[in-house]
Amino acid sequence: MEDLIVRKSGRAGRITLNRPQAMNALTREMVQGIHAALRDWRDDAEVDLVVIDGAGERAFCAGGDIAALYQAAQNGDHETGRTFFRDEYAMNAAIADYPKPVVVLLHGFVMGGGVGIGGHASHRIVGDSTRMSMPEAGIGLIPDVGGTWLLARAPGRIGEYLALTGARIGAGDAIYAGLADSYIPEDAWPGLIAELERSGDTRVIKGSPPPDSPLADRDLSVFGRPDVEAIRRALRDSDDDATLSLLESNSPLSMAAGLMMVRAARDDERLQDALSREYRFTHRATQEADFLEGVRAALIDRDRTPDWQAAASEEDVAAILSPLGDHELTWEDET
């Protein structure tokens, strides 16, 4: 598959996302290819670890290929999106539970589905070009791919802040927020990969002191307020217009649901619990949420002026996150 380069090199299984013209946005075939490679190498004695990187200079992965899901839904096909999310979440869980080290090199834009690959790996490396975000509220979704699980484990109220604003963060913030582990200058990455291939040993990963984390010095306590409107009021009262403007541009339903889901994920015992909750939203997204309007405004017409229509009361949030019955996302042990 041209969009995904899978091979063994030395002691390493190597996966390279190879759609640089699309910022390595994930197709269903790429998702399935990553998962298949992980299955193949699980019991392969020649593979001691897995290394995942992205081709091109701009992005490790800018997310899923949501334009394709939009086009399918516009034609009345909602199953294409549901199947994509199911396959993607299964791949996310496989990375999180993998019995061998998974090393990811997260350069450039790491957004949405890119966080779903990188955020759950055992060894997460960032560099100076890293720009990480979970911007789903801006297109009528929620931080999925296990994003609510990751954000729930960030210090303080960083998780709520990132979920509601979709703000981009650099290497220092990514490490402080628990979304990455090591900062290594990117000119050292080729040599590191070569050494990982030669040795099959993650002890060769030697991080450098990371850049400063602006988030570490910010007071984000307003994001502990009980709901989105209370957070908005607090931001207005504190004259934080820059942060308030980020919230004002996003889907009200997505923010309300995302806020609840990040907080709910703090009580989850495993990533799969958060993924199943996220799937309740994404299963319904093309029919009942603001997803199609968000994608239209961001990627199709590119007018950046979405006309959000989905209601965002507590009852609306409860409805879109209610159990799916026979369509509920369930899990089987891959071992």
> What backbone torsions phi and psi does residue 107 show, to the nearest 5 degrees?
-100, 160
Q: Closest by alpha carbon to 16, among 33, 28, 36, 39?
A: 33
Helix or strand run (H / E) with residue 183:
strand 182-183
Per the annotation, the verdict on 293 as an active-site residue is: no
> Among residues 54, 113, 147, 172, which one is catalytic?
113
Q: Is 79 helix (H, G, I), strand (E, B) or coil?
A: helix
- Strands of the sheet containing 59-61, edge to edge, are 59-61, 109-111, 131-133
* CA gap 283, 131 in Å, rounded: 28
Q: Which of 53, 65, 87, 144 is catalytic?
A: 144
**C-alpha distance from residue 99 to each of 44, 49, 92, 242, 246 (Å):** 12, 9, 14, 43, 39
Contact criterion met (CB below 8 Å) for 173 and 212 = no
136 in catalytic set = yes
Could you count the other beta carbons within 10 Å of the beta carbon of residue 173? Answer: 26
Instruction: Spot the catalytic one: 3, 65, 87, 136.
Output: 136
Q: How far apart are the C-alpha atoms of 98 and 202, rounded to whole Å?
A: 15
Active site residue 113: yes
Distance CA(192)–CA(14), nearest Å, equals 13
For the chain, counts of helices (H) and of strands (E): 14, 9
Distance CA 67, CA 166 (A): 19
The region, left, alpha or beta by phi > 0 then psi within -120 to 50, assigned to residue 225 is beta
N- to C-terminal Cα separation, the chain: 26
**Would you call 173 a catalytic residue per the annotation?**
no
Catalytic-labelled residue, pool 64, 114, 116, 294? 64
- Which alpha helices (DSSP H) does the chain contain, by range? 28-42, 66-74, 79-96, 113-118, 147-152, 158-165, 171-176, 189-199, 228-237, 241-248, 252-265, 271-288, 291-295, 314-320
User: Which residues are known catalytic residues?
Assistant: 64, 113, 136, 144
